[in-house]
Each structure stands twice: as C-alpha cells, then as structure tokens.
Chains A and B, each alone.
Chain A
Amino acid sequence: MSKLPAKAKCVVIGAGIVGNGMVYHLAKLGWKDIVQIDKGPLPNPGGSTGHASNFIFPVDHSKEMTAITAESMRQYKEFGTFTETGGIEVARTQERMQELARRITSGKSWGIDGGRILTPAEVKELVPYIDETVIVGGYYQPTVGVVDSLRTGTIMREKAQEMGALQSFANVEVQDITVENGKVKSVVTDQGTIEAEYVVIATGCWSPKLAAMAGAHIPLTPAVHQMKDIGPVPFFKDTKGDIEWPIVRDMDVFMYERQHGTGLEIGSYAHRPILYTPDDLPSNATAALSPTEFAFTQADFDIQDEHAYELMPSIVGDENVREKYAINGILSYTPDGMPVLGETPEVRNLWSVAAVWIKEGPGTAKSVAEWMVLGDSHIDLHASNIARFHEHHKEEKHIKSRVAESFNKTYGIVHPNEQYESNRKVRLSPYYDREAALGAVFYETAGWERPFWYECNKDLVAKFGDKVMPRTAEWESRWWSPIINAEHLQMRETAGIVDLTAFAYFDITGPSALTVVQKAALRQMDVAIGRVVYTPVLGPNGGFKSDLTIMRLDADHFRVVTGGAHGMADKKWFADLLPGDGSATIKDITSDYTTLGVWGPNARAIVQEVTSADMSHDAFKFSTCKEIDIKGVKVLASRISYVGDLGWEFYVPMADGPALWDALWEAGKNHGLIPVGIGVYGTTGRLEKCYRAYGPELETEYTVVEAGMQTPKLKEADFVGKDAHVKHRAEKPVAMLCTLFVDDHTSSTGEKRYMMGNEPILTLDKQPITDAHGRRSYVTSAGSAPSLGKHILMSYLPTELAVAGNKFIVEYLGEHYPCSIAEVGATSVFDPSNERILS
C-alpha cells in the first residue's frame, strides 16, 4: 500500500456513502489534493452504509429533508444504482389515513407528485401477499425505490480519482485531530500525520468521537434498528430482478417489509430504544459481523414478528420460510432528528457531515461541498446546520433522552407543534414561577420554557366568543388553545406582557464593530447611537441567513438580538465575520440577559407609571432604544414591535428580571394588562402584521425582493450577498410573498378546518403551481388573524399570479379549500399604516 501523504488540501475521514459523496463533489467543484481515509477496508468499511436497507421514500414533511432526498435520488439514477419499485405506506387506523393524506399534501408542496390514496383492495392488487383486512388503506408513491449505496460510493470515489483529485486509503485509523489558533491543522493516524487545510468528518456513528479529538461536538448517538431477513419465499421463486415488488411500510406498527431476491426483509422502529456511545462500537477486527452490526436481540422483536405475520401471513406465517439473517444494525440519531452539517462552531475548517442516512447521502454531500467551496449550498440547510446547537444540546443526557423519546416516532404521526417531554426545564426565565402560577402552558425553545398561553386567561374565551375562531377538529386543536386568540384580542384592547427570555443576545464591540455589523446586515448600520435596526442577514447568494435586530449602543458597541432557536447559528455567522486581528470581538450574553415585552394601546400608560423617563411618542421614537429606570432597575428599553401594537422590549440582567416583572405587573393592574404567550407573539400578532419569520418565509431559496423586504435605497457599505442582491433588485422577481385569506373552511363533513402551514397552494383546477425557478407555491406560515376574523396563509406565488383578489385552492389533509390573495408584499393586513405602533 502506498504511503499517506504528509499534506493535503482536504482530508475526508470516512468512506461510507457520505465520505465518498464528499470526495466526489469536492473534486467536481474543482478541489484537488483530497485525501480520504477510513479505518475499515474498502468498499465496505463496516459503517452503517454496509448494512442499511437502502430504500428511499421521497416525501418528508420537512422541505429541507425532501429536497436533499430528491437530489440524492437524482444522483443515484445518474449513477445507475437506483431501482424504482414504488412503495406503499399502509394504515391500520383512520388517524393514519389522515396522516397519509397529509404526506401526499407535503409531497405536492415540495414538488413530489404522483402519490395517491389506495383502498385495501387496491393495495392488495399491488402487493398480493398482504392481508388487506388488517389495513384501512394506503398511500402509494410510485417513485419509491431501492439503491445500491456501496456501489454508488465506489463509483463516486473512483470518479474523484479519475479527476486526479483524490487518494484513498483503507485501514487507516485516526488517532487525533490537531488544532492551531482555532483552526484545524492535521490528522494524526496510525500510519502517519497529514497536515490539512480542511478536515471533513464523515464517519457516521463514530463522528462524536472524532469531533471530540479536535474539541468539537457532533451531537448524535448510535442507535439500534432491528431487521430480519426471511426466506426463501415460494411466492418470490420466479422473481427476475433483485428488487421487484413495492416496498411496504406498515406505519402504525412502525415497520417495513420489502422483497429482495427470494427473501423478505422485515425492519422495525418499534422496539425499545437501544442506544450506544461511539466507544461501545467494536473495532473491525473484534466485531463478529461488522462494527455496526450487533447481534440480533429476538426478545425486542417478538411483537414485531406478530405484526409482520398479521400483515403478510402467507409469507411470514409459512413455517418453511426461515430466518436467514437478523441484526441489530447501528444508525445515527440526533436529538432533533435532523442531520449535523457544516463547519463546527468550535474549530474552523473542521466540517461535520454526520447523521446522514442513505436516502440523503449524495444530496447532502453535494450541498455541503457547495457550502465548503462556494460559501453556500443551493438547498437551504438551516435545520441541519451544526451551529444550531446550544451548549446543553451537546450533552450526552440531552442527546440520549431526546433520541430515546423520538426513536419510536421514526414512523410516528408527529404533530408540527409537538413538544418533547424529556429533558425539559433546562433553562428557566426569572419569571418562570410567576408564569406557572398564572397557568402558563410551556413550550420549549432552545431549552427555555416559554409560556405559549396562560390558563388564567380562560375567561377571555367566553368574552370574545366566536371571535376566538374556535376549532373543533382534533388535529388542529392539538397543541393549540382558543385562549391564544383571546389573549390576542385582549392585547389589542388593553395590553399584554410577553416573556422573551429565549432570545439570544451577543455584543459586538471594538473599533471594527461597525464594519462587522455592516458586513452582516442588509440595512444601514451606520446609524445614530440609540437606533434599533431590524435587518435581514443574507448569504453569498443573496438569500436569507437570518433576520434579526441590532441596537447601536455606542459608536463601537452593537447588540444583536435574535430568536433563540437560530441564535447559535447567528452567533457563528457574526463570529465568522470578525476581522481576526482583535479589532472587534463578540460576546454571547444570552444567559446573562432577559427580555420582557409590553404591547397594546395601554402600554405607554403602564410603563409611564413606573419610570421617570419620558415615554411619549416624541421623546421615545419608534426604532430607538435607551436606558431608563423602572422602579430602581436600570433597563434597556427598545421601542419596537413584532405584534403590531405600541410598546417596548425591556432588557435587563437576569437577576433584575423579577423586579422588572413585578413593577410592570403591578402598574398593569389598572390598565388591563394580561400575560400573553408566544402563541400571539410568534403567530397571530406576527401574521396579522404580515411579518416574515426566518425559516418559514425567509430562507436561502428566496430573495429579499421576493419577500417584499427590499430597502428603497441600497446601502453603500459592502455586505455579504450584496452582488447577488444588486442583481435581484435589477430583475423582475420570479415570485412574490403574498398574504392570503381562507375564504371557506368547511370540509366535506361540514366541519371547519384550519391549515397549519406547509400545504400546497393550487390553481382553481387543483393543479400545483410552480414558478419559473421550479419552486412550488406552498403555505410558509398559517394561523389565525383574530382581529380580522380570518385565517391567514402566507405563500410565495409566481409574480404573474400575485395579484390581490386572485383566487386559489389550498389543499389540507386531502381536501380543498378556496383562498384568495389579500396582500402582495409586506403590507400588513391589520393596521396597514401602522397607526397603532406609531401612536
């Protein structure tokens, strides 16, 4: 074997589907001098790729996951390693039938068509060996298929070698990854050290161990997925190809069955969660089968045997069809179910491409390679960004408890607002006890417990009656309360106090601080001290990386305030823009500060009672901030609003939080102040004002112009994405973000139904709408507008269709509802001239 080189531009560790994908795509994008190593032999080094079941169902409720999967399928087809079989998800319950309709709906939103609902008899026609009496129906997706992931990996590796860009070495074990000045320096192996400009960790379930060598974190856990092969099956005796029959997912028992050759593979996500740590995995030499194929534990599969027997009795129940092979296969699971991609926040040029399954491999590799080489990927990867994790997310306890909780939901019906139960109360705001006493119903964001609504406001539901837009259907009533809408209406009449402790805050200071924030912000940051600027943050391609607020507290002191969920990724974004000469620094003060918001017509009267500062409209202008005194507490007050009413956000050190709450609460008693939850702040208040949110509306794939957020004047200072943005401003936008109202909520059963988001917008003849860039129109956000008595949908629509009054159809759980455009662009549907905010 040839010797390891002493230097490389990039070392890719891992030769599974992901590592092979990375070397191929990096080479394709022009990188040379890539070295790939794996501790195992080639072509199957013994990771999860070697035992994965290799089938692909293209539809996921996550747009990001579906896009990555679609790109992967495209590549598998290009390499000739994809066999289309079709696949059926069968339902044993009516609840599941609703979920299957929802999956078809998600497919239409993300551009995956062809899905249709089948009767049990129709399922039987496609899969003659099922007992159709145990199911109530199915969802057929003709584009489901099976891939040869090992072959694909080999092809990709060989192509990179043919391009003269790659040297691959098997049986090389990494012993250390060294770091110098915060940047990766070398990979130390049992066969020598390679100095490298970039290092990519593509080692699946071993990734945490390798990241730890460099002082970084890749939060995932190896978890068991059980599968058993039985055969030979007489029915499959005459099958010609290896893969001939549709794959069946028996969703309600969390299992799948698929034919290959004369065998039937039975897989399960129903067994108890069996979690390991990377250190538990044996070496290639000591493993009985492979390091990721553990001995099958039959006792965990007993019930699954019965479920498989129920669905396919003619095969599974045949005494002569015997177990050929059964394993506890190891897969990677993350605490939030998404992959872990991107440059680690701890070490520059050290990249993670982890927790990626076969169906996502080649697409993920392409996207991450683009991110590394071009600075951004075509597919928005924000939900997979490794920088999303807060510190507590990286702890073993968090990872294990969340995976233990979510493992059995792999095939579960997961509500979009479903909350985790494990490892809660990790971070508590200073008002937690006060809120709990008021009957707060807590949801979690970034470890923080946030009141979503308050049971103490229950009586308001009766007060506002039908104006709260009560819901009768179970699905959209789950994780929802009419109290949210009642709080909204009361806040619009008097005032509400909102706990915003979950914000992330970081201060950027130093002589170059202005240069840094200018570079990050679309909007002008060279503003007067005391100005508050809400600004999009763009990526190199002119799409959105974030939207956030920056306060100029001094000539060389800026405070960035952003949402907790995305806060750590924002922190990395700003940190990456620091000049590196110490002339600007970033300090994360998230755990030091807390925020309360007070909004509503009575907000000024309440605040004025507890401060000597002049809170009048002229003395305290909108979009400004200043330090004031509230009952002896020094408070940074900022006059902004995300809910569309007059008011302020108040920032204080954590320790001063209770005194601030008590002062405002006491003063509020005479002014009808109520506690208001995030249900109003994040949804109803926001949507009435047509405020966009990062993630749903604002993402890499849409431009500032399409979001209706361009400034009248382009700032002169340079900023990330400026060239692309200038181009976008000069072009006619391909789509425009519109606000729509649902015109009739009545379903076929006469029940009123309310969309939740991610549903497709269709033409009046029920056809999907695709813009000139191939992007489907779908509902980015949905929610009540209680002040208007309307249910709001936001959606990007092709510019030629984006005309106020234009009518469309929205598909929800398989049914169709009329809707129409209320506003094109960012103008609010409630109080469009902002009289309330500016009062």
Chain B
Amino acid sequence: MDVLVCLKRVPLAGGTLILTPDSRDIETKHLGFGISPHEENAVEAGVQLVEQMGGTLTLLTLGPSDAEEQLRSQLAIGATRAVLLETDGQEWDPQGTAAALVDAINAEETKFDLIIFGAESADSAGYQIHIRVAHALNRPIITNVKSMKIENGVAICDRVVATGREHYEVALPAIVTVRDGLNIPRYPSVPGRMQARKKPVDMKKAEARVPKLEKVNLALAPSKSKGAEVLGKGVEAVPALVEILKKIGTF
C-alpha cells in the first residue's frame, strides 16, 4: 500500500492575528509554522495504514524551502520520504498549486494507491486543491471524511453531514480528504526526530505559473473577546455562577 499525503506549511496562530502593512499577508514575525490540523490527521492515517498493511508513506508539499521543517516533523511521525516543490515563498493560486502537485504526482515512480489531503488548509481554507487534483488525475474523491478503513482494495469512509452520516465505499486508487476526529495524531519522539533527519527529502524547483487569481488584500474578522471574567473568589462567586448557569440553561 503506497500512500501520499499532501501538506501545506502554515503559520501557527494562537493569539490575535495581525496583518502585514500592505494587508496582503498575515504578519508571521512572532509566529511559528506548522501544518493544518486536518493534515496532522491525514499523516496519522497514512502512518497507521503503512503500519498495518506495509508499503510507503510519501509526503508532498509546495512552498518555500523552509517548509522542509514541516516535512521533517512529519517524517519524524513515521512517513517514509518527502518531496518539496520549492517556490519563491509567494502564495500560489489553487489552479497553479493543483497543477504543480499533479505534475509531481505523475512524475513519481510510485503509483499511489491512496492520496490523502486535509479537508482544508488552516490559512486560506479554499477547499480547492484536492478536487482539482482528483479531477486532473481522474480519480474518485471522498471529502470531509471522519472515519476510514481500507479493506480488499476498497476505501470505506464515513462522513458527518447535517442529517446524519454518509457512507462511501470506493475502489482504490482514490483520493480522500480527512477532518480532525478521524484519529489522534501522535507527537514526534526524539528517536523519530533523529530518524527523520536521515530520511530523503527531494527538493524540486516549482516552475511558477501565471496566476489566474489575484489576492487583493486580507481583512481580519471581528475579534471575539477571549478574556476570562473573574466572577469572584470562593463562596462569594456562587451567586454570579448560578446566574450564568441559568442563563445558558444548565440550571
């Protein structure tokens, strides 16, 4: 079983976001980088499949050379190898990104049985890339999957919808996009980190494509106050607490 997981290097925001002076990017001076949470589930799913069934897990990303940091972290979880399509650091539009990924997948010797994406990227959340890749590769795709198993060359997936659950069975090769809740992604161990340093990362220059979309600017969503309100100390706090419990209907 050969699995491919596609990733994206994204800023790890924990506090209030700030934009760059031209409002076209998130200010990342104070931020670290990681991958989107759903992609962590994708990698974990890939690692588990290879652990159960044998085979390889390849990681693929398009991004700046610094994205090697994210690939190494996921290699530390248990992926086999990685491919980095190196850009000049500029954000590409979905068409360009998908086309570059498709070219890279086609160029691989391995014909992947399963390609897994996270349901959305944590920064732009465009829901575009996986569909475009599936279309270009002429493969079936199941999106927003919350549970998945592979049996006899068939991906058996469930996804949660407003009215309940939808159940899909699709023959491999296929593409699946996963959501958090699919599994509990593991953290790296130190031996994993050490092995990851020795695992191959193919660095390839990604040829820039003429973008069909232009990013004009970003705007911040109205911030929600995340400040905690101190209701009081000890017994004194009880009436205020009761009020709140009544208000939210639990009392």
Binding site for B on A (CB under 8 A): 230, 280-289, 294-299, 302, 305-306, 308-309, 316-324
Contacts and interface: CB of A to CB of B under 8 A. Distances in A.
B209 interface: no
Nearest to A324: B187
Interface string B73-114: 100000000000000000000000000000000000000000
B188 A322 contact: yes
B188 to A, nearest CB: 5
B31 interface: yes
Interface string B1-39: 000000000001111111000000000011111000000
Among B14, B29, B190, the most chain A Cβ lie within 10 Å of the Cβ of B190
B194 interface: yes
Contacts of A305: 190, 193-194
Interface string B37-52: 0000000000000000
A285 B16 contact: yes
B190 A316 contact: yes
A288 B189 contact: no
A282 B192 contact: no
B169 interface: no
Contact of B189 (A281, A297, A321): A321
B189 to A, nearest CB: 5
B197 interface: yes
B-side interface size class: 20 to 34
Nearest to B33: A295
Contacts of A285: 15-16
Contact of A287 (B30, B190, B193): B30
Nearest to A171: B227
Contact of A319 (B29, B192, B197): B192
A712 B36 CA distance: 80
Contacts of A283: 15
A298 B72 contact: yes
Nearest to A304: B190
B73 A298 contact: yes
A200 B28 CA distance: 33
Contacts of A320: 189
B191 interface: yes
Closest 6 A/B residue pairs (Cβ): A295-B32, A288-B14, A282-B30, A322-B187, A285-B16, A286-B15
A439 to B, nearest CB: 48
B18 A286 contact: yes
B32 A288 contact: yes
A323 B15 contact: no
Nearest to B28: A295
A317 B190 contact: yes
A302 B12 contact: no
Given A284-B15, A305-B190, 17 more contacts: A281-B30, A285-B16, A286-B15, A288-B15, A294-B32, A295-B12, A295-B32, A295-B33, A298-B72, A299-B69, A302-B193, A302-B194, A305-B194, A316-B190, A317-B190, A318-B191, A319-B192
Nearest to A322: B187
Contacts of B187: 322-324
B204 interface: no
Q: Count chain B CB atoms within 10 A of each CB in A288, A318, A321 and give the residue with the most.
A: A288
B197 A302 contact: yes
28 contacts: A280-B29, A280-B30, A281-B30, A283-B15, A285-B15, A287-B15, A287-B30, A288-B13, A288-B15, A288-B30, A288-B32, A294-B30, A296-B32, A297-B32, A297-B69, A298-B69, A299-B69, A302-B194, A305-B190, A305-B194, A308-B190, A309-B190, A318-B189, A318-B191, A322-B189, A323-B187, A323-B189, A324-B187
A289 B14 contact: yes
B199 interface: no
Contacts of B197: 302
